[in-house]
Amino acid sequence: METCPANGDTSNTSVIQSGTLKTHYVLVILGSSRVGKTAIVQQFLYDTFPDVYKATVEEFHRSEYKLKDFVLTLDILDTSGSYEFPAMKRLAINMGDAFVLVYSIDDAQSFEDVCREREYVQQARSLDVPIVVVGNKCDREDHREVGKELTESVVTMDWENGFVEASAKTKMNIFEIFNELLAQARAPSELSVCLERRRQSLPIFSVAPKVKYDLDLKRHSCVIS
């Protein structure tokens, strides 16, 4: 088990004392097909990039982090971008604490889909549910169909959601997506230290297992001392 240095942040302790400690976060990844949802998750968790496309039905990834005073469980639900599984998507949205809405910068329609998904998430959950909108495939600048500045201002100023342009292929800003989302979801800052530390020491897990509701997984762990 990896050991993380304490960062001197005492905010967590006060959360524990006030009895409102949240130890389990579910992050749900939404967006249309082929925008790179699975690639983002694979890069974040396993430091791999799937070159060959394989449609996702639904994949569930669980990680556990031993922080200073408790174990924090982080679940990531990678959903299907196709419209064949509406019931699964509804269930995923109802389970989520925070949402990553992915479009591809080379596909204007995929941003329209994000607009719809966002409305749906807000209707199903609440207007202030944590959301980060991700413009993926920014390595494909030559094929860009969605402008960065305008989109960023719509997302951050009008919608008041997080915005990150990223590339699962080059790994650019992949960590930032999850860091921003966890900050919005008010996850303990110790977790961010853990994730950053693990990122710096990757690759630890060279094989990306297909995990389906394996509730006893301790794939990523970290101790804050």
12, 63, 80, 173: residue in contact with ligand GTP (rule CB under 6 A): 80
Question: How far is 221 from 179, CA to CA, in rounded Å?
Answer: 17
* Contact set for ligand GTP, span 182-201 (CB under 6 A): none
Stretch that binds ligand GTP, among 75-83, 125-133, 145-153, 211-219 (CB under 6 A): 75-83
Binding track, positions 28-67, relative to Mg ion; x by CB under 5 A: ---------xx-----------------x-----------
Question: How far is 203 from 48, CA to CA, in rounded Å?
Answer: 9
* Contact set for ligand GTP, span 10-39 (CB under 6 A): 31, 33-39
Contact flag: residue 168 with ligand GTP (CB under 6 A): yes
Question: How far is 188 from 225, CA to CA, in rounded Å?
Answer: 15
Q: Least separation, in Å, of the C-beta of 56 and Mg ion?
A: 3
Q: Between 21 and 55, whose beta carbon lies closer to ligand GTP? A: 55
Q: Which of 59, 125, 54, 122 is nearest to 94 (CA)?
A: 125
Question: How far is 135 from 32, CA to CA, in rounded Å?
Answer: 12
Residue 101, number of CB atoms within 10 A of its CB: 25
Residue 140 binding partner per list ligand GTP, Mg ion, none, with a CB distance cut-off of 5 to 8 Å that depends on partner kind: ligand GTP
Q: Between 38 and 110, whose beta carbon lies closer to Mg ion? A: 38
Q: How many residues does the chain have?
A: 225
Residue 29, number of CB atoms within 10 A of its CB: 26
Q: Between 65 and 103, whose beta carbon lies closer to ligand GTP? A: 103
Q: What does the DSSP assignment read for 123-145?
A: HHS-TT--EEEEEE-TT-GGG--
Contact flag: residue 110 with Mg ion (CB under 5 A): no
Contact flag: residue 81 with ligand GTP (CB under 6 A): yes
Q: Least separation, in Å, of the C-beta of 197 and ligand GTP?
A: 24
Cα distance from N-terminal residue to C-terminal residue, the chain: 12
β-bridge mates for residue 71, sequence order: 66
- Judged by the rule CB under 6 A, the positions of this chain that interact with ligand GTP are 31, 33-39, 50-51, 53, 55-56, 80-82, 136-137, 139-140, 167-169
